[in-house]
Structure formats: structure tokens, C-alpha cells
Amino acid sequence: MATGSVLAYNKTMSQSSDTRKALNQLPVAAHHGAPLRSARYRPHRQVTKLMSIAERFVTRYSTTMGGVMPGKKTFALALTLALAVPVSAKLDTDKVYQPVSPTVEQARANILIARQLQFTHFRDLSINDSLSGDVFDAYLDYLDGQRVYLTQKDIDKFSAIRLGLGSALKTGQLQPGFDIYNLVQQRIIERLEFALDLIDNGIDKLDFSADERILLDRSDADWAADREALDDLWVKRIKNAVLAQRLNDSDDESIKEALHRRYEGQLKRAYQARSEDAFQAYMNAFAGMWDPHTSYFSPRTSENFNINMSLSLEGIGAVLQSDNEYTKVVRLVPGGPASKQGQLEPADRIVSVKQDDEEKPVNVIGWRLDEVVDLIRGPRESTVTLEVIPADAPDETVTETIAIERDKVKLEEQSASKEVIEFERGGTTYSIGVINIPTFYADFKAMQDGDPNYKSTTRDVRKLIDELKADGVDGVVMDLRNNGGGALHEANDLVGLFIEEGPTVQIRNSNNDVQVLNDEDPSVAYDGPLVVLVNRMSASASEIFAGAIQDYGRGLVVGSQTFGKGTVQAVRPLNHGQLKITQSKFYRVSGGSTQHKGVIPDIEIPSRVDKTRIGEDALDHALPWDQIEAVPHARYFDFSGIIDELRKRHDTRFEENPEFSLLQQEIEFLKQQREQEYVSLNLEKRKAYQSQIENTRLTIANARRAIHGEEAFESLDALDDWQDEQAAEPDRADDELDFIIREGGNIMADMLELDQRMASILAPKQITAQAGTLSSKSGQ
């Protein structure tokens, strides 16, 4: 083995008798991945004994990657892994990467995580050779998701350990995962140094006349064969970044400065890698095999999680997560600063963060999630500016800047609200009440303190219903679009406002025990016709409510397929951090789960949201849809006699509606951008492509202004300026009602016109609905 081809550690341990003794107490993996045991090895079943093994492994062995003695059984996962990682060799800087090593506390936590995943997770999954391979692939995706740092030669060096990770993870032997992490960090450093050298050599020397192109999403691409191929890829990456900024009217000096700031920031993070970074990445790749909502929180991440749950710090009101080297927006908190500002969207990726008292932004690509969160938090009424890659951006070089004023998320700003709209049908005017519910909330502190006037979704909606009834409305539209869920008991109680007593949702745990939540109050707050609006961002508690209303035949669900988040997580403490683990699934009273499939509306309306990117079925290892036995429940209205006519009228209206025509154009435009696999690196071709995108944006925006009788924008710059002005006024009132809300009202009016029996619930016909008896149109 060549000098420098093995990971160098601060201490070197020889093959002494103590070393051999320690190795004899560890399981040994053969080349095919089957576990071997020495004569001295005895299987250990108790956690304490497994921890003892891990402790001996870490304290006696984690500081060496010494040579292998010929003819001897060895711990192949840690000993035979010969990696070409010259971590002690200097690059073009004065810094040297220091490999990270696992700790005893991490090994103990690993054992606890493995046991909890095996014995308490909803999914029954064995830790075997097949899972080992999946963990290996997921871990590489986590560390190098776009396949821009490692080569196929690097991957080949790991082949000996691919099928042995599972057995090592069960016994707290973390070194293999740390070896992979150290190699990736070294490769990241090499690539960033290469990029900086290329930029320093002069971006004016880059050739944009050749007919080259670059693959935008490399997550499924082949690994670069070798270093030379990777060099070629990185030249293209730099050219793409430079070209994008030149077309955005940036001069070369500004481009050079921006790219330098980006790559130097990433380089700094790579050199500052910590043992905890490797452990959290490795454990999340491991835990993610069970489902995407099961994850490990380091002690620092646990602290941030608990702070977020109590909403005790000012921020922007956004839930974030790590997405390879980026920090991604998962969802916006209703009523929060980002939600009110209106520009930040789910699936946006954060590139940089700038404080209002700083001249230049801080690039956060490659940063740890907790550190990005720390940058975004700050004093109330101060401004933080985010540079993000929009969710619908064609590639990572397209960014936009969003300024958000920090504030606390106030409960009253998440509260339900109402609006009254009117429609005319055949000479009759219908008054429709619209209730918007941003989230399922409850003031738990006031509730625990015994405050009789504590706020909650159900209490607020009941008041709004009473006000609408006093106004004499003919029907109610419940708007749950973009409602990501919240308090489960509030979803149960809210269903109870619209039905007599009965079951609302079923919850099944990993032992197949089923708990049924019931509305035990026979009173009904509102017995009239009901429409529920949903979209792809309606999740969890929203899906429970919509599904129950659909199963009871209590109203029609209108919109697009919901998110499909039908699982329940618990946060369990560990000796080191916490484990968020999925333990249960939600099932509708008709028997079908809300998991994966979500709720399928009775009348569907297309959405701008890309279902291939956002939604439970877009997540790796999501738990599948299934069904259990239905529970007896009432069926109030039978829509079968009018549903076809309702859909026909809806289709006709939308064919004639210019807003819907624009929505279809936007959907098609975004789809074409998403399907663009490659982008040209030829200047003239790229100009033409960008001009086409800009013209389409401007055309759609001006068509929408024409609908509202507003003056057209003369240029894209004028459109961008106007959008910035709108974002700076988050409390502005909307003069024009959302056309989707209007369509919900139209459907309500059609329903009343077609069948006056929909004006009030009649005596319900009790049915014992069996799983699968409802049609696909009812969401099953």
C-alpha cells in the first residue's frame, strides 16, 4: 500500500497483544459481508454488553487504521478499508484537514438508535446485508447527493464494507461511517481548491463559444470515472455559474467575488468538520431507511427543536431541514413573517444569509443546519435577507433575494378568519361563508392554566360559524389549503362541529393496536352544505378533517391531492441527543390510510406545485398506503346523483375562466423548466433560452394584469420591482378574491341549485362501511 493511502490519525497503535485481544472481542466481517466470530467472541444480547463492546472498540481502536496481518481474521469494516485519502498532505492552503473520530457516547447512542428502530418503529425492518447496501447508498447521497466530489474509483474502494455496515451499526462500531465521511470531506476540499484556482486564473479565459452543455440534476448520474473526469465536470460547473451571472448583468469582478465568497465559505466549513457532523449524517442515513420522518437530533439540534416547539425565539416562521449541502425550506408557519411576506416558498434552498447591519451576505452552502438557524434568528423587527434557489428554478445558478422582518409567530395571526361572498343562480342569490384555517392550533398554556377563554381552532371556528349563521349564509366553504396540520385533538373536535357523535380517525401503532378517536358531543354547530378546499400543502390534521368530511358524506372536497402525511412521530431521549421516530399511522373511518396517498378531492383543480418534488410519495422510503377495517359511521349526503353534473359545470367554468387558463399556462411553463435536463454553456444559446423564460414570465404577468384592468409591465425589471414592492407590504388587503375560493363558492351554489336536500343534514343512515367500499373519487 502506498504511503498516504491509509487514513492518518493523531495516534498510531501497533499490533500489540492488547490490540489483538480487543479485536478478538469484536465481530468480524468476511468479504461477502457475512459475520464471522473468533473463538473468544460470544454473542451479546443485552444493551449494556453491546455498549461495552462499543466502548472498547472506540477507546482501543478508533485512533488507528494500521496494517492487516496476513492470515489473521480482522475487523474488515475498519481494518481492511484502504482509502486513498492523503489527509495530512497540504493543498494550496496552510490548513490540513483533521479526520474526525467517533466517541464512546456516540457509539452508545448508535446502539440505542438501532434497537429502537428495530423494535419500536412502525415499519418492521431487519438490519441485514440488503439494508447495509441501502444505508451505504443513502449515506453517499447524504454526503454527495449531486455526485460532484467522489469518483467511481473512490466508490470502488468502499466495496469491501458495503454489505457490512448493518452488523457494525447494531453494535455501535462507527468507524466505517467515519472513514467514508473523512474521505468525502477531503474530496470536498480538493474540489473547492480546484474551483478557487480556476477562478483565480481568470474567468475571462473561460470559453463560452463551444457547443457544451451541463446536466442540471446529477442525483441519478454516474459517478465521474476518475479525477480527470471530475475536473472536466467542475470546469463546466464554474462556467455555468459565471454564465448565469453574466446574463444577470453582473460584471466579472463581482462574479469572481461572489464565487470566491461561496467556495471559501464551503471550504472553511469542510476544514471545521466535527465528529458530531459525521455522526448525525451517518445516523440520519441509517434512520431514514425506516421512513423520511425518522431522524436523529444531535444535542445541539435537540435544543433547537425544543426551542422551535415552544416558539420562544424570534425568527422568520419557517421550518428548515438539511438537503445535502443546502438548507431547504420545508414549510412556512402560518401567520409567521415569511408567510406574510409572501416570497419564500416550500422547497426553496437557502444560499446565503445577510443581516441588516452587514454589507455582504454570508454564504451558508455546506453549513450545519443549527448554524444556519442561528444566523436567521435575531432581534424582533430586525431584517434578515436570504438568497435562495427557488423551488421552481431550472438550476442552482438561478437565485433570488428575499428580505424578511423578524418577529414572533403570534397565535392570533394563525387564527381562523371568515369572508362572505355571493353568487347568483337562476335569479336566486346565494350567500356563501368562507372560513380560512391556516393551522390547527391551541393555546396549550392557557388551557393548562384553566383559562375558560383559551384560543383554539375549534373554539374560533364555532364563533365564526355562529356569526355566519347570523348573517344568513346558505353554505360554508372551509379553506384548508396550505394548512400543514397541528394539534390532532383540534382536527377531531373540528369534525365534531359538522357531525353528530361518531368516530373521526383511527390510529394504529406498530403492535397493530388500533385506537379510535371519537366526537362524543351529539350537538352540531353547522348542519348546512359544506365544501372543503385542499391542496398539495394540506397535510396531517388537515387530511384527517377532509377525509372524515368525505367519508361521512358531509361535504365535498375540492382542490388538488393532499400531501399524504399520515404518520405519527414521538421524540425519544438518548444518552446523546434525541431520536424522532415514527410509531403510528392515521387511518380514515372508512379504513384507508391518509399516508402516502393523502385525500383525493371529489372535484380536482390543478396546482402549480410539482407533485414529483413535494408530497409524501416524493420522499424516499415513505411508508406505503394501506387499509384496515372501517368503523361504523354515519353517511349524511349522497352526492352520486349530482357529482357528474357538478364536475361538468366546474369544467365548463374553468374553460371559460381566464385565470384558470393562466394557471394552466404557468403549470405547463414550470413543467417544461423542470423537464429541462441539460442547459447549454454556449453564450448565444443560453441567451436565447433565458430570453424565452423571461418573455413567458412577462406575458403571463401582463395577462393577469389585463384581467384585473391593470396597466401592463413594460419590462421584466418593472415586474420584479413591483413584486418587491408587494412583498414589502405583507398586510396589504386583497381586492380580488382568490379564484379558487370563488370556484369553491360556485360549486356550493351549484350543489344547492341541483338538490335542495343539501341545505341541511337529514337523519343519517347508519352504515357499517368496510374498507375499500368507497369509490376512488372519495379518496380511497
Catalytic machinery residues: 540, 551, 565
Cα distances from 43 to residues 8, 19, 631, in angstroms, run 32, 20, 46
Cell numbers that stand for 757 in this block: 336536500
Rounded to whole angstroms, the Cα distance separating 632 from 551 reads 11
Residue with cell 393555546: 443
Residue 540: closest CA among 603, 593, 602: 593
Cell numbers that stand for 451 in this block: 383559562
Do the strands 28-29 and 35-36 form a parallel or antiparallel pair, or are they unpaired?
A: antiparallel
Element (H or E) spanning 580, and its range? strand 578-587
Rounded to whole angstroms, the Cα distance separating 265 from 254 reads 16
Residues 6+ apart with CB under 8 A from 512: none
Rounded to whole angstroms, the Cα distance separating 778 from 622 reads 22
* Number of residues that make up the chain: 780
Rounded to whole angstroms, the Cα distance separating 584 from 569 reads 7
Sign of CA dihedral 86, 55, 581, 442: negative
Distance linking the first and last C-alpha atoms of the chain: 60
List residues bridging with 571 in a β-sheet.
Answer: 580
Rounded to whole angstroms, the Cα distance separating 773 from 629 reads 11
Rounded to whole angstroms, the Cα distance separating 419 from 433 reads 6
Residue with cell 394540506: 538
Residue with cell 419564500: 344
Rounded to whole angstroms, the Cα distance separating 298 from 315 reads 21
Rounded to whole angstroms, the Cα distance separating 389 from 297 reads 26
| DSSP-H helix ranges across 630-682 | 643-656, 658-674
Rounded to whole angstroms, the Cα distance separating 644 from 628 reads 29
Rounded to whole angstroms, the Cα distance separating 780 from 771 reads 9
Q: How many CB atoms lie within 10 A of CB 514?
A: 15
**Rg, C-alpha atoms of the chain:** 29
Residue 333: closest CA among 320, 350, 314, 318: 318
Rounded to whole angstroms, the Cα distance separating 383 from 406 reads 6
Check: CB of residue 261 under 8 Å from CB of residue 245. no
Rounded to whole angstroms, the Cα distance separating 509 from 429 reads 49
Residue with cell 395577462: 703
List residues bridging with 36 in a β-sheet.
Answer: 28
List residues bridging with 429 in a β-sheet.
Answer: 424
Cell numbers that stand for 545 in this block: 378533517
Q: Cα 358 from chain centroid?
A: 30
Check: CB of residue 136 under 8 Å from CB of residue 177. no
Rounded to whole angstroms, the Cα distance separating 406 from 386 reads 12
